[in-house]
Chain A
Amino acid sequence: MTLLAIDSREAPRRRLFKAEDRPLVSAGLYLALALCIALPLTLMFLWSVADGWQPPSIFPQSFTTSRWIHILGDENLVAALLTSLFIAFTVTILTALIAMPTAWAMGRFPFRLKRLVEIFILAPVIIPGLVVAVGVGKVFLLLGLAYSVAGVIIVQIVGTLPLMIRLMSATFETIPDELIHAARSLGAGTASIVLHVILPLSVPGLLAGGLMSFIGSFEEFDKSFIVGAPVIQTLPIKLYMYLDPYSMQLPLAAIVSFILLLPALIVFIIAGRIMRDDLMAAGMGKI
């Protein structure tokens, strides 16, 4: 009887999302978006062009573009950007390639100690990049990988791999066995199954993991700094050099953040476009 009473009290609370709720819900979502993204971006922009901004005033007293001109005028910046892009692309592709087999095993086969292996795979996320880099740096010196692009790529993959494995194994888990059996019974060999069934259905996971890896690599500082600097100058390394510990940080930091944020935004917008495409979205649909 008590159970029934609770049930009947709870029931009216559950209520369907109706068409007239739409303006309210979207207003809320847009507000959240504004608070989380637009507001910080605006503040950052204001800081980057402020020429003196004292606490009581809401807007900067005067503006200057000199800092932007100074930083953007640095021709090494373009070189650093290209290095960073190259490294980010390579890291993303290698991460995907390395993650696939592990993720497949994790996602498709039940085995003992699976939880333990999962924790083990995620361990690099817990350990600070600095610790990893210092440890790895020593080995890299011996192997001749220190101060090389290859070294930076390898040390960054340590950071991007766990998330990619996690995302891909979650994606592989959602592919039903019967789909693979159906493909096989229709005459598809292993290569065809991977190419025509598994890869297309993994696109959402690959895209998500790829984005995370790309941005993770593009913005990575501490590991790249220890393994690569000063020979290898990635964009973050280059930009962080502008920060001057003996003066006001905010205006320069704002510019640095802006430049580092830009590719992430571009990549997310592109991804959003692709995900909206029917073909890709189908991978996430139910069977």
Chain B
Amino acid sequence: MMSELEIRNLTKHYGETRVLHPVSLSVERGEFVTILGPSGCGKSTLLRILMGISEASGGEIHLAGKRLDLAPPEARDIAMVFQSYALFPHMSVAKNLGFGLKMKNVPKDERAKRIAHVVDICNLHGLLDRMPRQLSGGQQQRVALARAVVMQPSLLLFDEPLSNLDAKLRDSLRHDLVALHRRIGTTSLYVTHDQAEAMAMSDRIVVMNAGRIVEIGTPLELYRSPRHVFTAQFLGQTNLLTVEASGTGGRLPWGQVITLDRPATGTAQVSLRPENIAIIADENGVATVSSVAFLGATLFYTMEIGTLSLKVSQAGGVDPLSVGTRVSFDLAGPVHLLDHLPMAEAA
């Protein structure tokens, strides 16, 4: 049984520079998958190839059981939401929404019905006669979304659609998007460099770096038990430490003995999340608080142990410890062991 979207060994190079190393990925029907990676890692390139704007150097793409990469862009059953919205500035909202349907020769009454439907689900009431420049950024992005959704495509693509909006609007549109996806159930591939966005929205996250897929998993899997250093660092905050392991026991650099979540031998790397470290003021503690930041819901500390420094977070309800306080700490549960990879790749 083939997945709805199958990308097999896709490569892309511009002359000598490789932008995509073989990339393979399958997305199930109705799934919301996010590609997460730093700027310049090849996310947009991948979407452009899916759309047909750019040609792959190698590999195959299948959508709904058919070869996608051989069809011209206008014949692909895909709709895209762009970062810059890409609304037609000379057309009213209604004309923007109707453009694709008109191009695909959808009959007029069917067109009206589908537009009325997306106006409803994207909350565009009263905006149909406006020109794009008469809309706020958030409204423009909702129109761009509606223009894609009205096509009822097999696959929806999003290229950092929220990154031009301010934080508050981004949050509310993120919720709207999730609700919309739940309602229409279209298979979606969403690209972002914002890990919070990826965590909040996705069924699965594909972590990408430098043209390669690093790791694929649900937000929970990737956050709690990432295999790679890159994933551990890119999703949320973490402390990377080397341990001397034997079995499920490990010794931290300052001599503390901990339990690992799976057995290993020799030198290994662990990821210790700041929220899994509990600190208390203690005259005889091994660590010293070196900075405090109060972020409202959380308190964020840096503490020094010998030459190492550790990030620690705490629920914001308590009074902050002051800089210079000696503290001792506990680790909640076993510590997560990362796959053995050279430290250099963490950068």
- Listed in ascending order, the chain A residues whose CB lies under 8 Å from chain B are 176, 178-179, 181-189, 192, 196-197, 200-201, 278-279, 282-283, 285-287
Contact for B90 among A185, A189, A192, A279, CB less than 8 A: A279
Determine if A197 and B88 form an interchain contact, defined as CB atoms under 8 angstroms apart: yes
Q: What B residues does A178 contact at CB under 8 A?
A: 82, 84, 86
Residues of B contacting A182 in the complex (Cβ-Cβ under 8 angstroms):
80, 82, 86, 88
A-B contact pairs, 13 of them (CB 8 A): A176-B86, A181-B73, A183-B103, A184-B51, A185-B73, A186-B74, A187-B104, A188-B74, A188-B103, A197-B88, A201-B89, A282-B133, A283-B89
Q: With an 8 A cutoff between CB atoms, is B5 at the interface?
A: no
- 1/0 contact string of B31-57 vs chain A (CB within 8 Å): 000000000000000001001110000
B88 to chain A, nearest CB (A): 6
Q: Is B51 a contact of A285 with CB atoms below 8 Å?
A: no
User: B132 at interface (Cβ–Cβ under 8 A)?
Assistant: yes
Q: A192, B89: Cβ atoms under 8 Å?
A: no
Give chain A nearest CB distance to B65 CB in angstroms. Answer: 21
Q: Check B99 for interface membership: any CB of A closer than 8 A.
A: yes
In the bound complex, residues from chain A placing their C-beta under 8 Å from that of B53 are 181, 184-185
Cα A192 to Cα B80 in complex, Å, equals 18
Minimal Cβ-Cβ distance residue in A for B140? A287
Q: How many residues of B contact A (CB 8 A)?
A: 28
CA distance A139 to B248 in the complex (A): 93
> For the complex, is B64 an interface residue (Cβ under 8 Å from A)?
no
A184 and B74 contact, CB distance less than 8 A: yes
Instruction: Tell me if A185 and B99 are in contact (CB < 8 A).
Output: no
Q: How far apart are A267's CB and chain B's nearest CB, in angstroms?
A: 23
- Chain B residues numbered 226-248 whose CB sits less than 8 Å from any CB in chain A: none
Which residue of chain B is the closest to A175 with respect to CB atoms? B89
In addition to A181-B51, A185-B76, 12 A-B residue pairs with Cβ atoms within 8 Å of each other are A178-B84, A179-B86, A183-B103, A184-B73, A185-B73, A187-B104, A187-B151, A188-B103, A189-B103, A278-B131, A283-B90, A286-B133
Q: Which residues of B contact A176 (CB under 8 A)?
A: 84, 86
Contacts A282-B133, A286-B133; A185 near B89 (Cβ below 8 A): no
Q: Name the CB-closest residue of B to A282.
A: B90
